[in-house]
Amino acid sequence: MTVGLFILAGLLGVVYVFWLASSRPSDETKPASPVAGPSATPRPTRSPRPTRTPRPTEPPQVSPAPSPTAGPQKVGVVAGHWQSDPGAICPDGLQEVTINLDVASRVVAILQTEGYDAQLLAEFSDRLEGYKADAFVSIHTDSCAVPEASGFKVARVVASAIPAEEDRLVACLIREYGRVTGLRFHENSITFDMTDYHAFREIDPNTPGAIIELGFMAADRQLLTDHSDMVAQGVAQGILCFLRGE
């Protein structure tokens, strides 16, 4: 009887072990947990290998060939009488060169801020001979001789090699200087000294040039001395009008 029980227990043990062994694999096929299953990210499919881009037969052009006019445009600004003489002198001692230099320096600064290669030039600078630039303007001021006279003047050389270009520079200066300063154009008093201005005979004939008389040192004094920033802005805007082809 005891032996029979032992054999039965042994058989049950063997059956249990077999049952365990046979049920394990079916457990593993189940998902680990119902939550993890759906959220499990699918294994990404392998992205296709990019095909090699064919090598260009010729090296790509990095930048266009530099044109001869590359770089900032050049502008020459003469401070009338500077490093030469005082110019006109009023009875109270005010000198023309003081106004000219103040305004010309400001014009150069404005143009440089706008990205142009602007240069301040003396009245009889050695650099004027054959001077090449995209624009050239000489800045002068009229005397105190006629106390009631008011207004500005602009002129170019009479015998111009590029009359259309220089007329456009003159027109731009008249339009913009008048607009910014509010001064009127003193039309009928362009003098021979202006149209035969010495620098016009020195600079390269293909450099568009003009001379401006900013106003009269008596009647226009307040504008010329107290508002030289506005006066300079008027000249600079006239030059920019020309350079931008407006």
Q: Could you list the residues that contact Zn ion (CB under 5 A)?
A: 80, 87, 140
For residue 4 the two structure tokens come to 């029979």
CB of 77 to Zn ion, least distance (A): 14
Tokens of 35: 């939550």
Q: Is 104 or 241 the residue whose CB approaches Zn ion more closely?
A: 104
Q: In whole angstroms, how close is the CB of 246 to Zn ion at the nearest point?
A: 28
Per residue in 3-12, is it b (16+ CB within 10 Å) or e — as a string?
eeeeeeeeee
DSSP-assigned letters across all residues of 110-148? HHHHTT-EEEEE-TT-GGGTT---SEEEEEEEE-SSSTT
Nearer to Zn ion by Cβ, of 212 and 240: the residue is 212
Q: Give the Cα separation of 174 and 193 in Å (integer).
A: 18
Shortest distance in whole angstroms from residue 176 CB to Zn ion: 21
Nearer to Zn ion (CB atom), residue 37 or residue 147: 147
CB of 142 to Zn ion, least distance (A): 8
Work out whether strand 209-216 and strand 153-155 pair parallel, antiparallel, or are unpaired.
antiparallel
Of 81 and 168, nearer to Zn ion (C-beta) is 81
